[in-house]
Amino acid sequence: MRLLFTLTALVYNTAAIQYPLSFLSSNNDPALSINSFIDNLSQDLSDFEISSLNDNDIAYYKQIEPSNWPIDLEQYSTDFVIRLFDWIDTDDDIPFYQSTLSLIKEQQNIKIWDSSLASKFIDIQLNKDMAQYLLTELSSQYKFNYKLLLNNLPQTIFETYPQSQLSSLEEEENDDFITNSELFFKTYRDIDSIYAWFDLLVNTYPDILSIEYIGNTFEGRPMKALRLSVHSDSKSNEIKTVVITGGIHAREWISVSTTCYILFQLLQDYENGKVSVIRYLENLDFLFLPLMNPDGYTYTWTNERLWRKNKQQTFNPRCQGIDIDHSFDFHFTSGIESPCSDDYPGESVFEALESYNWDNYLNETKHSHPIYAYIDLHSYAQEVLYPYAYSCDILPRDEENLLELAYGLSQSIRLKSGKYYQIFKACQDKGADLLPSMGSGSALDYMYHNKAYWAFVLKLRDSGTHGFLLPSKYITPVGKEIYSSIKYFAAFLLSDK
C-alpha cells in the first residue's frame, strides 16, 4: 500500500514537472503554471527511490555522516537545475537569449551551467525563490519552454565522487600498467591520482613518453603535460604535434578523464601493433594536457564540485578566479564581466597564470615541436565546435575543410556509440554576436589563429540529463567514442599532408 502511494506521488510529480509548457501555452494565467512547477520542486527522495538507490550500491547522502561526505553537500540543499529552451523571439523584443543571460548575470545566486544559442537552451542552477522570480519575469515578456533537469543536486553531486571501494589507487599493490589503468578509469580521479598515473605511464614507456612541465599555478601546483613521441629527437622538428587539452573548466571532469583515456588507448594500440595507430604515431606527435586548471580542479574535489574558474585572487577580495578560457590574447575583452562572474577574463591578457604558462611553453617549443592541430575537450552538450568563437562575421581560413572535418569527427563518434554530436561554429553556440564577452579570448581562437592549422572544441556528454555531473560509469564509453574521433582526426591530418 505504501509503495503504491509513493509510486503514484512520483508519477504525479513527474507529470507535473515534465509538461510546463503545455500549461504555459494553453493556460490563460501563466503565473498559475509557474507556481505549480515551483511547488513540485523537491529534493527529498521518497522511501521508494532510496530503496532503488541501495540496489545499485549507491548510498543516499543523508544516510551518511556529514563528516564522511567528500565535500559539504548541504551547500546545494536548496538548489535545482532547470532548462529554459525553445524560445520564440519576435522582431520587437531584445532576443530572449541575450535578455535572459543579462538578467541572470545580475543575480549572485543564479548560476549558468551551460547555454547555447544555436541549440536554444540555457541551463541554470538556482533555488525555488529565484526560479519563481526568473520564470515570472521572463514569462511576462517571452514565450519559452522550461523543465526540471536535476531535482536532487546534493545526491547527484555525491554520486560523482569515488565510492569507497574505488577511492584510491595507492591502496592497490598492483603496478601493472593495464590493470592499474582499467581500475583508474572506473571512477573520476583527483589530481594526486592523475599525476601518480602519469608517473606510472612514463615508467612503463620511458622511450616514447615524457612529462613536460608547463609552469606553476597561483596556488603553486605544477601544470604537467605528457608528450607521446615515438621517434628520435633528431627528427622532432619535422614531426607535427597534435595537442589535446582538458579541464580548462574545473567542473568538467569528463574532459579530464577523456584526455587521459585517449592517451591510454593510443599506447595500448601501439603496443598491440595496431597498424593504423603505428602509422599515426610514426607521423604525428601527441601532447596531452588533461589538467589545464589544476587549482580549480582540486577545489572541485575539496570544496565546490561546480567551480569553473581558476583560483587566482582578483581585485575584488570577495571573488576569486579567472576563466582561463577567456584570458588568451586573441580578441580579449576586459571590463564587461565582474570578478564575481563565472566568465571573468581578468583585467589584462594572460593574467590567468595557466594561459600565461601555456603560451610561454608553446613559444619556447614551437621550433623543436611545431603544432599542427588542436582539440580542446569540454562538457557538456554533445557538440563539435569550430572557429571562430569571438565573432561569426569573420570567416575562418579553409572553412570548407574545417567543416568537413567537424562532420567527420561527429560521424566517427556516431558510428562508435550511436551518440549524436551537433556541429556549430563556436560563435553561434556562444551567441557571441549578441553577447561579445561570451566568445572573447578563448583557447580555441588563440590556438587556431596563432598555433594550429586545425582547431576544434568538443563538448562531451551528455545533452543535459546529468550535465557536469555525468556518472562515472560513462567515463569509458565517452573515452571510446572520442578516441574513435581522434583516430579519424589523425587519419585526416595524414591524408591532408
Contact set with Zn ion (CB under 5 A): 249, 252, 378
Q: Which is nearer to Zn ion, 135 or 385 (CB)?
A: 385
> What is the nearest approach in angstroms of Zn ion to the Cβ of residue 327?
13
> What is the nearest approach in angstroms of Zn ion to the Cβ of residue 247?
9
Cell numbers at 51, concatenated: 530503496
E strands, 438-490, are 454-460
> What is the nearest approach in angstroms of Zn ion to the Cβ of residue 50?
33
Q: Which is nearer to Zn ion, 252 or 337 (CB)?
A: 252
Distance CA 294, CA 296 (A): 6
> What is the nearest approach in angstroms of Zn ion to the Cβ of residue 355?
14
Distance CA 466, CA 478 (A): 14
Strand 454-460: give its sheet, edge to edge. Answer: 209-216, 222-228, 284-289, 240-245, 371-379, 454-460, 383-386, 422-425
Instruction: Please name which of 409, 404, 448 lies closest in space to residue 426, comparing C-alpha atoms.
Output: 448
Instruction: Give helix 253-271 / helix 191-204 axis angle, nearest 10°.
Output: 10
Query: Is-contact 304 248, C-beta < 8 A?
Result: no
Distance CA 112, CA 342 (A): 8
Q: Which is nearer to Zn ion, 331 or 378 (CB)?
A: 378
Q: Which is nearer to Zn ion, 151 or 442 (CB)?
A: 442
Q: What 8-state DSSP symbol labels residue 166?
A: G
Q: Which is nearer to Zn ion, 252 or 383 (CB)?
A: 252
> What is the nearest approach in angstroms of Zn ion to the Cβ of residue 323?
9
Q: Which is nearer to Zn ion, 254 or 284 (CB)?
A: 254
**Which residues are CB-contacts of 221 (< 8 A; sequence separation ≥ 6)?**
191, 294, 295, 298
**Which residues are CB-contacts of 226 (< 8 A; sequence separation ≥ 6)?**
198, 201, 202, 209, 210, 211, 212, 263, 287, 288
Q: Which is nearer to Zn ion, 250 or 409 (CB)?
A: 250
**Sign of the C-alpha dihedral, residues 442, 443, 445, 446?**
positive
Q: Which is nearer to Zn ion, 130 or 256 (CB)?
A: 256
Instruction: Give helix 294-302 / helix 191-204 axis angle, nearest 10°.
Output: 130
> What is the nearest approach in angstroms of Zn ion to the Cβ of residue 316?
23
E strands, 261-339, are 284-289
Q: How many CA atoms lie within 13 A of 336 on its CB side?
A: 16
> What is the nearest approach in angstroms of Zn ion to the Cβ of residue 105?
17
Cell numbers at 295, concatenated: 587549482
> What is the nearest approach in angstroms of Zn ion to the Cβ of residue 296?
11
Q: Which is nearer to Zn ion, 99 or 379 (CB)?
A: 379
> What is the nearest approach in angstroms of Zn ion to the Cβ of residue 387?
16
In the three-class reduction of DSSP (H, G, I as helix; E, B as strand; rest coil), residue 342 is classed as coil
Q: Which is nearer to Zn ion, 187 or 379 (CB)?
A: 379
Query: Is-contact 438 337, C-beta < 8 A?
Result: no
Query: Is-contact 370 242, C-beta < 8 A?
Result: no
Q: Which is nearer to Zn ion, 252 or 445 (CB)?
A: 252
> What is the nearest approach in angstroms of Zn ion to the Cβ of residue 378?
3
Beta strand 143-150 with 79-88: parallel, antiparallel or unpaired? antiparallel
**Which residues, in sequence order, are bridge partners of residue 215?**
223
Q: Which is nearer to Zn ion, 83 or 249 (CB)?
A: 249
In the three-class reduction of DSSP (H, G, I as helix; E, B as strand; rest coil), residue 402 is classed as helix
> What is the nearest approach in angstroms of Zn ion to the Cβ of residue 245?
11
**Which residues are CB-contacts of 346 (< 8 A; sequence separation ≥ 6)?**
312, 314, 322, 326, 327, 334, 352
Helix (H) or strand (E) segment spanning residue 477:
helix 475-496
Q: Which is nearer to Zn ion, 224 or 459 (CB)?
A: 459
Distance CA 489, CA 242 (A): 10
> What is the nearest approach in angstroms of Zn ion to the Cβ of residue 185?
21
Instruction: Please name which of 408, 441, 440, 443 lies closest in space to residue 423, comparing C-alpha atoms.
Output: 408
> What is the nearest approach in angstroms of Zn ion to the Cβ of residue 308?
7
Query: Is-contact 74 66, C-beta < 8 A?
Result: yes
